[in-house]
Copies of this chain bind each other. A is one copy, B any other.
């Protein structure tokens, strides 16, 4: 994006080997995790000499970040656009909680179903990273939280006088549900005897939005602030 001409058509050289490396890394990191794959294995899968990985991308950790960053940018753009659209559509009323959550989840679930395998691998990678104590609180925050803050602002419009901590925790629950979906581990296939499929993200999209919206409304109060129900103390046992 920064170097305009040199990136798109630099005479005729510039092979696609860097892309091949990133693609292979994406697939293998998604399948086995950062430490579960060697740089040599990635290079082999990309049909590229090992030293080219260092040359084009850098060290192994930099390769991981490059894979993570590559798709995050376009994702974030689309999510913000969809959020602005849904705010504009509802104006001057605030948008519904459902519409906001849909703008948050739809660009992800839709890409994973409608586009190539690369996106599925990418989201599986995100799922593992998000639950990893080494990177979940750092890389994920860096790449995605700026967008998350915008969505939280919108949710404050839809849920006025909402308690801040309830809002953050509600988002946390939504993030966890979405994240486990991306992992596509097949566990629900087993549990449901084949009635539900991890890979059926359309089925998730139909259900995650109302599920999470109900949770947000319950915690963050959809009623007038006077009549809001109090949380149970949860001090049993």
Interface residues on A, range: 35 or more
Count of this chain's copies in the oligomeric assembly = 2
Looking at A127, A187, A213, the one whose CB has the most chain B CB atoms below 10 A away is A187
Would B219 and A207 count as touching, CB distance under 8 A? Answer: yes
Looking at A127, A178, A211, the one whose CB has the most chain B CB atoms below 10 A away is A211
Which residues of chain B come closer than 8 Å to A134, judged between CB atoms? 31-32, 36
CA distance A180 to B174 in the complex (A): 10
Find the B residue at minimum CB distance from A186. B137
Would B208 and A218 count as touching, CB distance under 8 A? Answer: no
Interface residues in chain A, defined as those with a beta carbon under 8 Å from any beta carbon in chain B: 30-36, 82, 98, 102, 106, 110, 124, 127-128, 130-134, 136-137, 140-141, 145, 148-149, 164-166, 168-181, 183-192, 195-196, 198, 202-219, 231-234, 236-237
* 8 new A-B contacts at CB < 8 Å, known A133-B185, A145-B190, A176-B177: A102-B236, A110-B237, A133-B186, A137-B186, A168-B191, A169-B207, A210-B218, A214-B218
